[in-house]
Chain A
């Protein structure tokens, strides 16, 4: 996939980073021991992504992009994305405390079951959501954003402290 808008390229980069992380999480949940340092490190990274990056990404889309989509007559698609953001946030609320416990290496058996259950659901829902955004939303941005708006939004997204990615 390649996009001509800066915003599209930025969001696509984040999607790719997130997909790589989700793939590692999915793999780790089925293959690694929960006490493995690689697992605890990955859970720490996963928790950080849920806490900061996902919210920041969603907030930007909801505040800056979806209104433009609605104006252009693509409200149905925007509503679908918002609905999916809501579900992913809901799962993140349930999953984040468990991911933090896993990152600290202090999980008991019931928590492990819950972690796996919620994390696998999170992986699948995020992948499906990224799939929709990649194939339907991001290509749309090339038409929705003129050059100036694109530059302004990309700059604001990169500079706003509230929207700055955690590293």
Chain B
């Protein structure tokens, strides 16, 4: 009939336990348990969607903050100011907010537990969202008291979320790789919060505040590679196989990658605290590089064995994100070996936050938001499909602008030119507006009767 894709060779693993009338038996794939059992394990739609919605808005605000900083001639690394606010609007506002929403919904579904704590999650959102806004304003306007108030709210919200997630992980059945990544991310969250609060005490000028460079180094490792990084890598073992129709990678490899990541983070943390910094940082980078190589090899194998291609804007952004992760490690070596690369720290930051984390997360978000929304759609003759809720044109525009903005940011670093930085921020803002359009259309279509939204959206808006 037609040429057939090559059959995958990976063995099917017994990963999860499923309760049935015949007792408890194994569900063969994590993603299978996810897809098969998702509908009964959903939080109210308002919980994940309010987190994703806030992330989308913070994404827009981050580019606007950068534009204000560029217009005022502020540099990155110049202390409090709009560029620092832009970075935190991305890390706390976009990445943190998305991890809070996605983790609360995806972990219970993937680990076959009832999704509980909806009221607490809503309260956490109400604490975290203004906390991020006040913290960013405090940074942008250089008001340490505001910064401290925002940081306190964010810390409390993240601790409450951490408790809820820990309860989830404690009851998880199967998926040892993903669950272990979750525990490690929570441990990194605690260290990250301690370092962040110590930094706030530095900004407040407290006499007992620790040395700035020490806690800053700790914060810079634990936030991107620890909390956000470990959650991203762990959830990838569920989400990527689900997107392309493949087995989840072998748990042993997932755990091997995690052990190396934990070794890397522990070494980097001890190095930041001044314990044999050169040797431990080198050990950390080496362990981290091997761990990331293993993770990306597992992802590449999953994509190769998948029955579907990981195409479209989402696939491009996720691959770009993986490239950024590798580039950040290369630049880590450049910094460690003190090679003469001008503004190496800025290049490192661009690769880490801009290219890896933002690209990866926005790529994933544009897949899971319509997927979860479709499960919550109003009942009707034909429930809408994820793509019927999505807006392909907006996502295509966002992809172009996102990549364009990153290229311009690289140009701004290379030339130290504020006009180029301003242009990057403007292009990024257009991309963020396109992403807002995608999300707004999703919410609007979600509220339409099922048959109408399904047929109209397949008429050519894909």
The interface of chain A, by Cβ under 8 A from chain B, is 1-3, 12-13, 15-17, 19-21, 23-24, 45, 72-74, 76-77, 80, 87, 90-91, 113, 116-118, 120-121, 124-125, 127-128, 130-132, 134-137, 139-140, 142-143, 167
Tier of interface size on chain B: 35 or more
Docked CA distance A132–B3 (Å): 23
Could you tell me if B459 and A113 are in contact, using CB atoms closer than 8 angstroms?
A: yes
Instruction: Classify the interface of chain B: helix, strand, loop or mixed.
Output: loop
Most buried by A among B33, B36, B383: B36
B4, B308, B455: the one contacting A127 at CB < 8 Å is B308
Could you tell me if A117 and B4 are in contact, using CB atoms closer than 8 angstroms?
A: no
Docked CA distance A20–B458 (Å): 20
Could you tell me if A72 and B22 are in contact, using CB atoms closer than 8 angstroms?
A: yes
The interface of chain B, by Cβ under 8 A from chain A, is 1-5, 7-12, 18-22, 25-29, 31-37, 39-40, 242, 245-247, 307-309, 381-383, 385-388, 454-455, 458-460, 462
A1, A2, A77, A121: the one contacting B36 at CB < 8 Å is A77
12 A/B residue pairs, CB under 8 Å, sorted by A: A1-B10, A17-B1, A19-B5, A73-B20, A80-B36, A121-B454, A121-B455, A124-B388, A127-B308, A132-B36, A134-B307, A140-B28
A45, A127, A128, A139: the one contacting B32 at CB < 8 Å is A139
Chain B residue contacts of A135, Cβ below 8 A: 29, 31-32, 34-36, 242, 245
Given A17-B1, A127-B308; A72-B459 close (CB under 8 Å): no
Docked CA distance A2–B9 (Å): 7
Chain B residue contacts of A77, Cβ below 8 A: 36
Docked CA distance A79–B7 (Å): 29
Specify the chain B residue showing the minimal Cβ separation from A141.
B28
Chain A residue contacts of B21, Cβ below 8 A: 72-73
A3, A72, A125, A139: the one contacting B385 at CB < 8 Å is A125
A74, A117, A128, A139: the one contacting B455 at CB < 8 Å is A117
Given A2-B11, A16-B307, A117-B459; A136-B35 close (CB under 8 Å): yes
